[in-house]
Amino acid sequence: MEKTIAELRKDYTLEGLHESGVSHNPFQQFGIWFEQALSAQLPEPNAMTVATSTPDGTPSARIVLLKNFDERGFIFYTNYLSHKGVELITNPQAAIVFWWAELERQVRICGNVEQISDQESDKYFYSRPLNSRLGAWASEQSQAIASREVLEERFQELQEKYANEEIPRPPYWGGFLVVPQQFEFWQGRTSRLHDRLGYTLLDDGGWQIERLSP
Ligand SMILES: Cc1cc2nc3c(=O)[nH]c(=O)nc-3n(C[C@H](O)[C@H](O)[C@H](O)COP(=O)(O)O)c2cc1C
């Protein structure tokens, strides 16, 4: 007999996460876990949910792809005029969540958000496949569109227009940098007694590590 939704559950048994086994630097710790997600050949390990909100606090969330991270923060690319783009410009704060199911791990990050420089957005844009670049021009992301055909026709027109010239980066397309103030590393454990280690940025630039109750 098939299970009901309420009966769907999984016990997490792979491993634990201990204060003595993590880096004091959460960027380094993220790097270690990200490398392990890559080695485990997870599908789209750089897919992350990004939550934003309007200035008056109405939230929204969607998945985007992490395209770089370093000690500045976490970068993804999008349309600055999209729903998320407008929210991030008017209320520059975000929360990010990675869920690496096969490793029974979740990472949460939150912080302030900045638009990256045009030069850095250009560098990534020009590394993208030609059709992805055209797609950035073809899509008025998050706007209502009359039909699929309208989108495909627009794409075809752009293919013809740029057949013999370089496709420039649209001025409304680029990267956002999430500058973390908090991280949480979550490792699923048996009986719902999960391990959670939270990192909070201190005034002196160091990080306070605390174990959080599951
Ligand atoms: C796996 C996956 C990766 C995605 N990557 C991106 C991305 O990097 N940038 C982006 O703008 N949208 C990406 N999307 C589409 C977004 O989820 C979303 O539909 C789109 O950005 C519009 O969101 P908004 O209306 O909230 O602005 C991705 C979707 C999925 C499922």
Query: Can you point out the beta strands (E) in the chain?
Result: 47-53, 59-70, 73-79, 93-100, 105-115, 173-187, 195-201, 207-211
Compute, in angstroms, the gap from residue 7 CA to the centroid of ligand 1.
31
Closest residue by Cα to atom 3, ligand 1, is 64
Residues 190 and 155 in one domain: no
In angstroms, the Cα distances linking 151 to 15, 64, 147, 189 are 47, 21, 7, 46
Mean pLDDT of the chain: 97
Q: Is ligand 1 within 6 A of the CB of residue 82? A: yes
Cα–ligand 1 centroid distance for 64 (angstroms) = 5
Which residue type does 86 have?
Answer: V
State the average pLDDT over residues 100-110. 98
Does residue 185 belong to any structural domain of this protein? yes
pLDDT score recorded for residue 66: 98
Helices 130-138 and 148-161, packing angle to 10 deg? 120
In this predicted model, what pLDDT tens digit does every residue of 118-165 receive, in sequence order? Answer: 999 999 999 999 999 999 999 999 999 999 999 999 999 999 999 999
Q: Quick one: CA dihedral 140, 122, 44, 98, positive or negative?
A: negative
Q: In sequence order, what are the beta bridge partners of 14? A: none
200 in a structural domain: yes
Task: Please tell me the predicted confidence (pLDDT) of residue 207.
Answer: 98
Q: How far is CA 214 from CA 22, 33, 169, 180, 207, in A?
A: 18, 20, 44, 22, 21
Distance 66 CA to ligand 1 centre (A): 11
Res 116: pLDDT: 98
Residue 181 clears pLDDT 80, i.e. is over it: yes
Q: Which of 116, 110, 94 shows the shortest CA–CA distance to 176?
A: 116
Do 50 and 73 belong together in one domain? yes
Q: Which amino acid is at 140?
A: E
Q: What is the mean pLDDT of residues 14-34?
A: 98
Averaged pLDDT, 28-41: 98
Q: What is the pLDDT of residue 108?
A: 99
What would the mean pLDDT of 82-95 be, rounded to a whole number? 98
What residue owns the CA closest to ligand 1's atom 31?
63
Assess whether 99 and 61 both reside in one domain.
yes
Characterize 130-152 residue by residue with b for buried, 16 or more Cβ atoms within 10 angstroms of its Cβ, and e for exposed. Answer: eeebbbbbbbebeeeeeeeeeee
CB 110 within 8 A of CB 96: yes
Residue 187 main-chain phi, psi, to 5 deg: -120, 120
Do residues 94 and 78 lie in contact, with contact meaning Cβ atoms separated by under 8 Å?
A: no
Predicted pLDDT of residue 60: 98
CATH number (domain holding residue 96): 2.30.110.10
Note the pLDDT of residue 1. Answer: 75
Count up the domains in the chain and report the number. 2
Average pLDDT over residues 104-127: 98
- Residue 34 has a pLDDT of 98
Q: What is the pLDDT of residues 62-80, one digit of tens each?
A: 999 999 999 999 999 999 9
Share of the chain above pLDDT 70, in %: 100
Q: Is the CB of 141 under 6 A from ligand 1?
A: yes
- Counting atoms of ligand 1 from 1, which one is nearest the CA of 52? 26
Determine the structural domain holding residue 188 and report its residue range: 9-121+172-212
In this structure, the answer to whether residues 89 and 24 fall within a common structural domain is yes
Question: What residues contact 145, with CB distance under 8 A and at least 6 apart?
Answer: 151
Residues that are catalytic: 192
